[in-house]
Amino acid sequence: MLDKERFAMRAVKWMRWVLLPAVVVIVLAQAAPALASDGGPDPLIRGLNTVWVLITAFLVFWMQAGFAFVEAGLTRAKNTTNILFKNLIDFVFATLAFWVIGYAFMFGSTAGGWIGTTGFFVSPAGAQDVAGLPLMAFWLFQLVFAGTAATIVSGAMAERTKFSAYLLYSFFISAFIYPISGHWIWGGGWLATLPIGAGFKDFAGSTVVHSVGGWLALIGAILLGPRLGRFGSDGKPKAIPGHSISMAVLGVFILWLGWFGFNPGSQLAADGLNADIISLVAVNTNIAAAAGAISAMVVVWLFISKKPDLPAALNGTLAGLVAITAPCAFVTPAASVVIGLVAGVIGAYGALLLEKLKVDDPVGAVPVHLMNGVWGTLALGIFATENGVSGLIAGSAEQLLAQTIGILAVSAWCLLCGMVLFATIKAFHGLRVSREEETQGLDILEHGAQAYPGDVLV
């Protein structure tokens, strides 16, 4: 209790750090109006592309609800308030962190290819277009991606993490970890300019977003340890079923819909040849999702639980979506079928592997986001034939090499940061709730409220 008050006092101090600069920027804003536009060659093309980028950004924002519902549905009712709260607040923190510093680290002028150094508070650059778009449209699109990376971690650490610890690491992910490795790839950094193949390629973020979230999820889950009762005293795993498959299914449908923003929106334009690319990307995204669902369903049905298992098919869908995220603009629909089929299998067996390693990942965030983030990034190096990138089947091994280097670099970065971040929180603040709290559920002791009070169905 006292501990929490101390944390809250710290939060207030933190708010001062937002409020003060805010006032400063308001004053600055009068000198550098946010609306002065440099026009660009065709205001109509710019308008069309802005509409496309804004609407796809809205769809990606909507994925926050999807992640929240997948995670809450696949866990127990006694932790639902806590889980939904985290999924709301991580996006809230991402918004402020990415505004204050995250965007600058990711997309500011590069310092040697390692980190961006301009554009804090998304101001003075306020008057300039980025990628042919109003800066504000570009910023919003990038923000919703940052929010996604942060929220992935939540699922693997569900049902046993302190709320205040979650706030801390969620802020650091959006403010530092994600933007810096993101700078290497999307901010014009060293991986983007790698002189191998077409340079490291990740169209919409299998690595930039999903693997980063997935690595941090894995480290967090390991450092936390499994939930009470997840492994018996004999070491045997015991399934802990989620409280509402309806919520999980809704979440997956929301995510699938949101991915139509995530991937096709990443082209950042819709005119001319861009119309062809976004259409191809949308089709590939949909096909890989379907293929992932079907292969996960069949593999589990035949070889694992011997039944058509809905949570497995749901994670197969997400696996296919994560895997196609990197290569979606560079491959054919036929290749997307193969990428999705493999993704579903990886998702299903990946979950088994984690269980064998006694890592407790309540929602399958690691097989979905990490393993398939890696698979999708490699798949680009194998199947790329479109849009100026050539993979193995087009006869070039270079791209696969570039992809491997990127995967290794980002892994190292995430392992380093994740270890430091979670170990620091664990040492100085505590990462895990008490046994009593975990047994009773986090909702009552952390938040003083149940998600579904007892008299609900009376």
Task: Pick out residues in 240-269 that bind a copy of itself (CB under 8 A).
Answer: 241-247, 249-250, 252-254, 256-257, 260-261, 264
**Which helix H or strand E contains 429, and what residues bound it?**
none
Q: Does residue 130 touch a copy of itself according to CB under 8 A?
A: no
Q: Helix (H, G, I), strand (E, B), or coil: what is residue 143?
A: helix
- Show contacts with a copy of itself in window 180-199 (CB under 8 A): none
Residue 121, interface with a copy of itself (CB under 8 A)?
A: yes
131 near a copy of itself, rule: CB under 8 A? no
DSSP label of 40: -
Q: To the nearest whole angstrom, how small is the minimum distance from the Cβ of residue 417 to a copy of itself?
A: 24
User: Does position 153 bind a copy of itself by CB under 8 A?
Assistant: no
Q: How far is the CB of 113 from a copy of itself (least distance, A)?
A: 28
User: Counting contacts by CB under 8 A, is residue 427 touching a copy of itself?
Assistant: no
Reference 400, options 389, 412, 411; nearest CA is 389
Is residue 201 a contact point for a copy of itself (CB under 8 A)?
Answer: no
Residues 386-415 that bind a copy of itself (CB under 8 A): 386-387, 393-394
89 binds a copy of itself (CB under 8 A): yes
Taking Cα atoms as reference points, which of 321, 254, 263, 256 lies closest to residue 292? Answer: 321
| C-beta closer to a copy of itself: residue 383 or 422 | 383
Phi/psi at 432 (nearest 5 deg)? -115, 145
Contact 130, 187 (CB under 8 A): no
Q: State yes or no: residue 80 binds a copy of itself (CB under 8 A).
A: yes
Q: How far is the CB of 252 from a copy of itself (least distance, A)?
A: 7
Stretch that binds a copy of itself, among 74-82, 179-187, 215-223, 371-379 (CB under 8 A): 74-82
Q: Smaller CB distance to a copy of itself: residue 191 or 247?
A: 247
Question: Nearer to a copy of itself by C-beta: 189 or 242?
Answer: 242
| CA 171 to centroid of chain Cα atoms | 14
Q: Considering the complex, what minimum distance in angstroms separates the CB of residue 58 from a copy of itself?
A: 4
Q: Minimum distance from CB of 91 to a copy of itself (Å)? A: 7
Residue 284 structure tokens: 């590939």
What's the closest the beta carbon of residue 57 comes to a copy of itself, in angstroms?
7
Dist. CA 183–CA 188, nearest whole Å: 6
Which one among 15, 131, 416, 420 touches a copy of itself, defined by CB under 8 A? Answer: 15
Residue number with CB closer to a copy of itself (96 or 371): 96
Buried b (16+ CB within 10 A) or exposed e, 352-391: eebbeeebbbbbbbbbbbbbbbbbbbbbbbbbbebbebbb
Q: Which is nearer to a copy of itself, 72 or 322 (CB)?
A: 72
The answer to whether 376 and 339 are in contact (CB under 8 A) is yes
DSSP character for 394?
Answer: G
Give CA torsion, residues 443, 216, 400, 109, to 10 deg: 110
One-letter amino acid identity for 168?
Answer: L
Residue 295 interacts with a copy of itself (CB under 8 A)? yes
Residue 229, C-beta contacts closer than 8 angstroms, at least 6 positions apart: 238, 240
In degrees, rounded to 5, the angle at the alpha carbon of residue 302 between the alpha carbons of residues 297 and 304 is 85
The single residue among 6, 55, 128, 420 that binds a copy of itself, judged by CB under 8 A, is: 55
How far apart are CB 436 and a copy of itself at their closest, in Å? 16
SS3 181: helix
Residues numbered 368-387 forming contacts with a copy of itself, rule: CB under 8 A: 383, 385-387
Q: Which residues contact 23 (CB under 8 A, 6 or more apart)?
A: none
- CB neighbours of residue 237 within 10 Å: 15
Q: Which is nearer to a copy of itself, 15 or 408 (CB)?
A: 15
CA dihedral 61, 174, 277, 198 (to 10 degrees): -170
Phi, psi dihedral angles at 270 (to 5 degrees): -140, 0
Q: Is 286 in the site for a copy of itself (CB under 8 A)?
A: yes
Site stretch for a copy of itself (CB under 8 A), options 129-137, 178-186, 192-200, 373-381: 129-137
Q: List the one residue from 3, 51, 412, 416 that touches a copy of itself (CB under 8 A).
A: 51
Q: How far is the CB of 11 from a copy of itself (least distance, A)?
A: 5
